[in-house]
Amino acid sequence: MISYMRRDSRLSGVLHLLLHMAQHDGPSTSETLAQALDTNPVVIRRVMAGLREQGYVMSTKGHGGGWTLACDVAKVTLRDIYNALGSPALLAIGNRTEAPGCLVEAAVNAALNDSFQRAEQLLLARLGEVTLAALHADVRSRSAERSSKVVRHRRSRQPGAE
């Protein structure tokens, strides 16, 4: 009776790649990006080709070539990237449709549809508020925090440190 739907992590994965690219000067190869996601370079090329069509990335061929950002990260939102991926399903839950004539199923589905639509509207609105630049700033902040913890840890292990 219960079936489990596989999570669609494409948005998370693409955002991961774009942020790595934002941190890196110069092009990133499909092979390098594939290592970041533990996937095949062909998968990366397929996804990046769609983003290239939307103007978010560009590619150069040959030695020293690869993928680079072609957009202003301060203007691109998570919703823009979500849309560029073809607006995949946001929720992994859905309605039961085995008994279309059942009034109980119809009432349940109507209530759930309303809830699903409201949840999707809220999520899409939030995705539209967050820019790639905001995520990039968060990455830099986390990196600085981690670096300061490492320095504090090293100092505390030095002989004579209190």
pLDDT in tens, 56-114: 999 999 888 999 999 999 999 999 999 999 999 888 888 888 888 899 999 999 999 99
Tokens of 146: 């981690």
Tokens of 65: 């070539």
pLDDT in tens, 7-33: 788 999 999 999 999 988 899 999 999
Confidence at residue 93, expressed as pLDDT on a 0 to 100 scale: 82
Three-class SS of residue 28?
strand
**CA-to-CA dists, residue 19 to 40, 43, 57, 85, angstroms:** 19, 18, 12, 16
Confidence at residue 60, expressed as pLDDT on a 0 to 100 scale: 92
- Taking a C-beta distance cutoff of 8 angstroms, is the pair 89, 8 a contact? yes
Return the closest-CA partner of residue 32 out of 20, 50, 19, 49.
20
Range(s) within the chain of domains with CATH label 1.10.10.10: 8-88+131-162
In the block, tokens 């902040």 appear at: 141
| Calpha distance 73→81 (Å, rounded) | 11
With bands split at pLDDT 50, 70 and 90, how would you rate the model's confidence at 155? low
Question: What DSSP state is assigned to residue 131?
Answer: B
CB neighbour class for 141 (10 Å; exposed up to 12, middle 13-18, buried from 19):
exposed
Span between the terminal Cα atoms of the chain, in Å: 61
- Taking a C-beta distance cutoff of 8 angstroms, is the pair 84, 51 a contact? yes
> If one looks up domain 8-88+131-162 in CATH, what number appears?
1.10.10.10
pLDDT surpasses 70 at 144? yes
pLDDT surpasses 90 at 119? yes
In the block, tokens 């990006």 appear at: 33
Residue 29's Cα: distance from chain center in Å?
19
Strands (E), 15-122: 57-60, 66-69
Confidence at residue 56, expressed as pLDDT on a 0 to 100 scale: 97
